[in-house]
Amino acid sequence: MATGVNTELDHDQHRTQRFMIGLGRGGAGALIFGLPMLMTMELWHLGFYIERYRLLLLLLLNIPLLLVLAHRIGFEETFTWREAARDAVIAYAIAIVMSVLVLLLFGNIKPGMPDSEILGKIAIQAVPASIGALLGRSQFGGQNDEEAEQQDEKEDSEISTSYGRELFMMAIGALFLSLNVAPTEEIILISFKMTAWHALVMIVASILIMHGFVYAVAFRGTHELTEDTPGSHAFIRFTLPGYMVALGISFYVLWTFGRLDDTAGMQALMSAIVLSFPGAIGAAAARLIL
């Protein structure tokens, strides 16, 4: 009986240790993936003037994204949505803490600033940082044999193979990369310099790069087609819908940051096409790493 108790204690200690390591990886992920936005001047200003209802909507939409991510790559193996919700909350908390520390370090939040500006800056930065916190576990893995076996079993489950979930993961990847570049003036500047032919070529290039990343260049996580599956099947079923997801995310992010306000329809479309170029790459990357 004593042996059984000791075994259970060892198991609990091992699980706690893995969870703490996961927290450390989460902090590293939040810092690495969130740093580009933390060092972007336009994001500092957005915290001051962004419409609060748009910011609230972004924060609310981030919750289901984190929930699904946590169910796949939480700080430890999750088997219920309740555990996934716990990891999602922890990821948000890590992101907030890391954002506060870095913004303080850079002098971007300081005593005397309006509370609304401070909260706005932290809230915007916490969205990509929270995604990075969860990505930290999968990308900075160092899994042992037991964890690797569990991960393989999880990848073979229904969770990782449903079509809707594939599109959802692509949306997460597109959102993450779009958030990093959408606030910059360069997106608008590029769209003004482009002609209709430039836009058409950019659409084709985005789709081809997106397809090549997932099916052609043999990255880790590359999706292989069976011999009896025509190449056009994956292109029509995943790549084209994935690009439309990235384009839709681009419109949403530009709207959130006020980039479409008082903008003509054609110019708004051009801006979305420009932003969907990195968005499509982010969507493809999500299929490889998530």
Mean pLDDT of 81-109: 88
- How does pLDDT run across 222-264, given as a tens digit for each residue? 555 555 666 677 788 888 999 999 999 999 999 999 888 888 8
Q: How far is CA 140 from the centre of its chain?
A: 16
pLDDT at res. 246:
95
> Highest mean pLDDT range out of 68-82, 219-233, 262-276?
262-276
CA dist 193 and 62 (Å) reads 33
Residue 203 pLDDT more than 70? yes
Least confident of 4-8, 85-89, 141-145: 141-145
- DSSP per residue, 73-113: H-SS---SHHHHHHHHHHHHHHHHHHHHHHHHHTTSS-TTS
Phi/psi-derived region of residue 142, left when phi > 0, alpha when psi is between -120 and 50, beta in every other case: left
Three-class secondary structure of residue 145 per DSSP: helix
Residue 136 pLDDT more than 90? no
Q: How far is CA 117 from the centre of its chain?
A: 24
User: How large a percentage of the chain has pLDDT more than 70?
Assistant: 78
pLDDT at res. 271:
95
- DSSP per residue, 186-210: HHHHHHHH--HHHHHHHHHHHHHHH
Average pLDDT score, the chain: 81
User: How large a percentage of the chain has pLDDT more than 90?
Assistant: 29
List Cα–Cα distances, 106 to 28, 36, 44, 110, 161, in angstroms.
Answer: 18, 13, 11, 10, 42
Residue 160 pLDDT more than 60? no
Amino acid at 174: A
- Whether residue 71 contacts residue 84, with contact meaning beta carbons closer than 8 Å, is answered with yes
Residue 197 pLDDT more than 90? yes
Residue 59, judged by CB atoms within 10 A of its CB (0-12, 13-18, 19+), counts as: middle
